[in-house]
Amino acid sequence: MSNKKLNFCTLFDSNYLSRGHVMLRSLFKMESRAFVYVFAFDEICESVLKSWNHPRLQVISLSEFEDDELLAVKPTRSPAEYCWTCTPSVIRFCLKKYNLDACTYIDADLFFFSSPKILFEEMGDKSVLITEHRYTPEFDQSKACGIYCVQFMCFKSDECGLKVLEWWRSACLDWCYEIIEEDRFGDQKYLDDWLDRFKGVHSLQHLGAGVAPWNIQQYEIFKNENVLFIKKDHDVFPVVFYHFQDFKRLSTGYMHFGRYARYIFTDIQKKLFYHVYSLALIESNQWIEKMVNGQYIKNYDIKDGWFKRFFNKKFRKSLRPLENISEKKYG
């Protein structure tokens, strides 16, 4: 692999600021060639990220990014739906504005445990890289939410890559809602037939990319020489990134694993993934509060009344307080 810069893009607002900050820090730590274009979806997010002044970070405001087509559909979408609508457009913006050979979209709630360079090596000369959800059978939501996850997607600026990207952008501008239909859901279910519809699309085979609450039950987890691995059957993969969808730290000091409380985690999975991420979130929130003089509203704080109403007593008892976690600083 060459020393060529690896270009990434992401988008988030201040509600995801600490998660986005954690994701960026983990990526920068694991890959020295990573350069990220962050699309800041509100002024607080833009101000904090620009104040960070990281040499491998380019912050782009909505006023710089939004075009007439996006502004025309914006009033018809919820904030989440508008972010989904914008995903192909931010990739397209980076490729064209900065004349990039390739750009990889990454979700703000990822955490990198190793360099993603191995994923690009697998991609080879293909034009588009997509990743499956790889659902554990009992948690399979592919009919509703799609086979593939919009979490880590690489597009090359070649004929095949741009053709796929323009098709996806047009589809999302036309329809992108949090509504489950037979052949579409948000920006995500559009990906289901890309391997048949387009040339040059590769579905990632590396199981260490896209470990998530909906598939972690399939894997044995272990560490060797400070590298985190997953094992399925006889196949072993280093963990590249984990997708912490809908994870929050409660104001009580407990961890909220997402709306889908039926997901099952072992103690070792909680320790090696969620405890590490929780500590990183705490540190990032403390940093952000200093940046904005204590005016930042912590996205991980949830009122206890809501927590008690939402979860049953058995599930609440299964959570573990953060006080039991080592206070070792995140690197």
What local confidence, expressed as pLDDT, does residue 303 receive?
Answer: 34
Picking from 108, 104, 75, 71, the residue whose alpha carbon sits closest to that of residue 88 is 104
Q: pLDDT higher for 197 or 256? A: 197
* Res. 172: pLDDT tops 80: yes
At residue 178, the pLDDT reads 95
CA distance 130 to 218: 20
Average pLDDT, the chain: 87
Give the model's pLDDT for residue 289.
Answer: 84
Confidence category of residue 250, pLDDT binned at 50, 70, 90:
low
Please give the distance of CA 164 from its chain centroid, rounded to a whole number: 21
Per the model's pLDDT, the better-predicted residue between 125 and 3 turns out to be 125
Q: Give residue limits of the domains in the chain.
A: 6-207, 216-324
Q: Is the pLDDT of residue 157 over 50?
A: yes
Please tell us whether the domain made up of 6-207 is placed in CATH 2.40.50.320: no
Cβ atoms 109, 23 nearer than 8 A: yes
| CA trace torsion 216, 35, 168, 82 (10° rounding) | 80
pLDDT of residue 96: 98
Q: Give the model's pLDDT for residue 253.
A: 63
- What's the pLDDT score for residue 324? 36
3-class DSSP state of 186: coil
| Residue 262: pLDDT band with limits 50, 70, 90 | confident
Residue 144's pLDDT is: 92
Q: What pTM was computed for the model?
A: 0.88
pLDDT at residue number 254:
67
Binning pLDDT at 50, 70 and 90, where does residue 123 land?
A: very high
Alpha helices in the chain (DSSP H): 17-30, 43-52, 62-65, 68-73, 79-97, 117-123, 142-145, 159-174, 194-197, 267-269, 276-291, 304-310, 313-318
Residues 6+ apart with CB under 8 A from 154: 102, 103, 104, 105, 119, 120, 123, 128, 129
Q: Name every residue whose Cβ is closer than 8 Å to that of residue 12 and which is 6 or more positions away in sequence.
A: 19, 20, 38, 39, 40, 41, 45, 83, 108
Rounded CA-CA distance 221/227 in Å is: 11
Is the pLDDT score of 59 beyond 60? yes
Beta strands at 148-156 and 57-61: parallel, antiparallel or unpaired: unpaired
